[in-house]
């Protein structure tokens, strides 16, 4: 009898599974290995940026500080979108390596809140074992 283990390639959305309630309970948090784009309000909610700083500093200056601190990997100047830095493993910096659960779930960015309804393949998620 063959095992029905799902193997997913996070970079190939055609290998993803249609999302359904309860799927996250047995997930390996593969979505947490994808780049996370955030805006300034997300950084304030994550407490990486002070509300006063967000109101009075230019996003470019904030990006410079966060980049130097290793908290962001990229900043899109045109759209003021920050890409959070990831660990060497590719995991989100806020993912617990042992439990594979988000350590900032209540403060998670809008990108994470809207996944999988919004993303590379709406309604699907990279559920399964990583390739």
pTM of the model: 0.87
Band the pLDDT of 8: cuts 50, 70, 90. Answer: confident
Bridge partners of residue 129, in order along the sequence? 7
Cα separation, 11 vs 51, in Å, equals 35
Pick from 87, 67, 89: which is nearest to 76 by CA? 67
The string of pLDDT tens digits covering residues 46-58 is: 999 999 999 999 9
**Range list of H helices, 7-125:** 40-45, 51-56, 59-68, 110-113
Cα separation, 86 vs 128, in Å, equals 21
The string of pLDDT tens digits covering residues 59-92 is: 999 999 999 999 999 999 999 999 999 999 999 9
Pick from 3, 8, 4, 5: which is nearest to 125 by CA? 8
Who's near 39: CB < 8 A, 6+ residues apart? 80, 81, 82, 110
Cα separation, 62 vs 25, in Å, equals 36
């Amino acid at each position: 009898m063959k095992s029905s283990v799902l193997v997913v390639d996070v970079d190939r959305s055609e290998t993803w599974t249609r999302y359904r309630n309860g799927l996250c309970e047995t997930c390996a948090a593969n979505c947490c290995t994808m780049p996370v784009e955030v805006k300034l309000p997300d950084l304030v909610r994550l407490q990486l940026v002070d509300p006063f700083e967000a109101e009075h500093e230019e996003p470019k200056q904030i990006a410079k500080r966060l980049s130097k601190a290793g908290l962001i990997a990229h900043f899109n100047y045109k759209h003021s979108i920050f890409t959070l830095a990831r660990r060497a493993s590719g995991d989100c910096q806020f993912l617990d390596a042992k439990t594979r659960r988000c350590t900032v779930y209540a403060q998670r960015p809008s990108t994470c809140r809207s996944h999988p309804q919004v993303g590379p393949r709406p309604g699907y998620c990279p559920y399964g074992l990583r390739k």
